Amino acid sequence: MEALDLLKRFDDLIKSIEIIEYNEEERVSKLKIRVLLFDNSILWVREVKIREKLIAYSYYWLRSNGKIIIGWDNAPHHREISTFPHHKHVGKNIEPSHETNLEDVLEFIHSFYFE
């Protein structure tokens, strides 16, 4: 599973990984993972791929109390955002997002803590 290999690269960030759903069919794969980070914040990962191409995603980084730190997704709303459909939720604000896959998000979170 590609996502798990990627998560292993960020082992200094990660305390545990829980696979909630993994379904790989002939053309479509769905993945939902709960990642507990070293500070007890949580990264929820949801991806849908068709023929290995990422078509839908959401990555939500939450504090241990459940409040959103940042949530990235490509749900086709917020057409006013310059990076539509890619956007991020920062508090109550919707902002453009250039983090459009799990690797980008993990690199962002890693740099937040370690750079």
Q: What is the pLDDT along the chain (115 residues), one digit of tens a residue?
A: 688 889 999 999 999 999 999 998 889 999 999 999 999 999 999 999 998 899 999 999 999 999 999 999 999 999 999 999 999 999 889 999 999 999 999 999 999 998 8
Q: Count structural domains, the chain.
A: 1
- ∠ CA 59-63-67, nearest 5°, is 85
d(CA 106, CA 73): 14
**Residue 55 host element (H or E):** strand 53-62
Lookup: tokens for 91: 């508090």
pTM of the full structure: 0.92
State which H helix or E strand residue 88 sits in.
Answer: strand 87-90
Q: Determine the structural domain holding residue 27 and report its residue range.
A: 2-114
Please name the residues in contact with 58: beta carbons below 8 A apart, sequence gap of 6 or more: 44, 45, 46, 71, 72, 73, 74, 75
